[in-house]
Amino acid sequence: MSWLQTLRVALRALTRNKMRSFLTTLGMVIGVSAVIAMVAIGDGAKARVEAAFAAMGSNMLIVLPGTSTAGGAMGGFGSNPTLTWDDLKAIQTEIPTVRAAAPQLRSNAQVMSEDQNWTTQVFGTTPEYFQIRTWPIAHGALFSQSDVDGGTKVAVIGQTVADKLYGANSNPVGQVIRVKNVPFVIAGVLAKKGQSQWGQDYDDIVIAPVSTFQQKIQGGLKNVIAGSIAVSATGPDATARAENQIRGLLRDRHRLQQGADDDFSIRNLSEIANAQQEGTRTLTTLLAAIAAVSLLVGGIGIMNIMLVSVTERTREIGLRMAVGAKPADIRLQFLVEALALAVMGGLIGVGLGLAGAWRLATSFGWEVLYRPDIILIAVGFSGLVGVVFGLYPAHKASRLDPIQALRFE
């Protein structure tokens, strides 16, 4: 008998007991829809974490100066400025896994336009900083190295500052912004980046060349960096190596004895990102595993109903054998029936799973990611479940003795 004929016979047998077929597939439906929904939601959550960390900077490390201790009171990171401009230069030139490094000097300051004022954080840095942070520009241009060398009074401002001082949807490039009463020409406005995961507004910022910052906004010692160093490693795999190399370099440069504590600290932001992603991944895997168990239960349901079906149709099997069906024909017929049940359940499950994922994701405000490979795997796996759990009933049917089967009441 041809495949098509076998399939027709199987589908006819299944539609003869519509309610029973539907209830049998329900196990597969639940299993597959759970797998699809869990994976889609998990991927959405992962993408969200990734996007949040991408706004922070790519493969980023932050080197903070050490702490000062005065009478037993620890001053916190940065209270003891131990990082020098020469340290920065050394990080930039001596470490191959470092793509770029930039100083990051910070101060809170009042800024003013002609008619508005606002208090924000002002950064002093070099052009490499925008590259490290992967912050693109929306209007105008970034300042350049020559601005840093010459101490030009130019600034790049964030979208929030532009909105507060010049109104929404304005383009204040070329206008003058007064920072601590010092006039700066706005060279560019950064593209909107939104908030960090802990609510910090990346757009509430004014960035000036580091030399101008030191001269006009917050003076400091000549040789030390009164802030931190932002570093971008050459790739996602290089961050850990870069961290170790920077640590080694700085310990060397600061002449720290073996066993002495670091007089600086390094934060590896990509490691935090990885840890978060690992958490989501574990959760997704766990949920998918639970869903897979329900697929197994669905398979057992199919086997159960196929065994009932074989017993019910013993006479039919006997007749089919009498008129020329070989054991292989009978086996194939029941196998295709089980397979059809499982795959139908799988397909319904995919539909329900996608719908469920979409609903949950919209209510959480996440992006839903549909992965075609997971859909294929889910349907394929349900087919496999159908074959595996259909095999025993099908084999049992094919082993029937036609004489006994025809006599069966």
Partner 1 sequence: MADAPLVQLENVVKTYRMGDVEVHALRGVSMTIEHGEFTAIMGASGSGKSTLMNILGCLDRPSSGHYLLEGQEVSQLPVERLAEVRNRTIGFVFQSFNLLSRTSALENVELPLLYGGVGTSERHQRASESLERVGLADRADHHPNQMSGGQQQRVAIARALVTRPRVILADEPTGNLDSRTSVEVMALFQELGRAGITVVLVTHEQDISQYAARVVVMRDGKVLSDLRQAPRRAEPPAPEARTAVEEVVP
Query: From the CB of 387, what's the least distance to partner 1, in Å?
Result: 22
Among 100, 303, 325, 357, binds partner 1 (CB under 8 A): 325
Q: Nearer Cβ to partner 1, position 263 or 329?
A: 329
Phi first, then psi: what are they for 373, rounded to 5°? -65, -40
Total residues belonging to the chain: 409
Q: Does 73 bind partner 1 (CB under 8 A)?
A: no
Q: Is 89 in the site for partner 1 (CB under 8 A)?
A: no
DSSP designation for 202: T
11 binds partner 1 (CB under 8 A): no
> Least separation, in Å, of the C-beta of 344 and partner 1?
20
Q: Which is nearer to partner 1, 149 or 401 (CB)?
A: 401
Residue for token digits 């600034």? 155
Instruction: Name the nearest CA neighbour of 158 among 127, 134, 189, 132.
Output: 189
Region of 36-44, 355-363, 373-381, 400-408 interacting with partner 1 (CB under 8 A) = 400-408
Instruction: Judge residue 354's burial from the number of C-beta atoms within 10 Å of its C-beta, 0-12 exposed, 13-18 middle, 19 or more buried.
Output: middle
Which position among 18, 169, 323, 365 is part of the footprint of partner 1 (CB under 8 A)? 323
What minimum distance in Å lies between the beta carbon of 334 and partner 1? 15
Closer to partner 1 by Cβ: residue 17 or 234: 17
Residues 136 and 130: their CA atoms lie apart, in Å, by 7
In whole angstroms, the minimum distance from the beta carbon of 325 to partner 1 comes to: 5
CA–CA distances in Å: residue 297 to residues 20, 107, 260, 389: 16, 62, 59, 10
Which member of 71, 259, 324, 365 binds partner 1 (CB under 8 A)? Answer: 324
Q: Select the residue interacting with partner 1 from 16, 89, 192, 371 (CB under 8 A).
A: 16
Residue 366 in contact with residue 41, Cβ under 8 Å? yes
Q: Is 139 helix (H, G, I), strand (E, B) or coil?
A: strand
Q: Does 54 bind partner 1 (CB under 8 A)?
A: no
- Contact criterion met (CB below 8 Å) for 151 and 209: yes
160 contacts 193 by C-beta, under 8 angstroms: no
For partner 1, the binding residue among 81, 220, 327, 351 (CB under 8 A) is 327
Residue 406 binds to partner 1 (criterion: CB under 8 A): yes
Exposed/middle/buried for residue 260 (C-beta within 10 Å: 0-12, 13-18, 19+): exposed
Q: What share of the chain is helix, strand, coil (3-state, %, to 5)?
A: 55, 20, 25
Question: Does 328 participate in binding partner 1 (rule CB under 8 A)?
Answer: yes
With CB under 8 A as the contact rule, the residue among 183, 262, 279, 326 that binds partner 1 is 326
Residues in contact with partner 1 by the rule CB under 8 A: 1-2, 5, 9, 12, 16, 315-316, 318-329, 402-403, 406
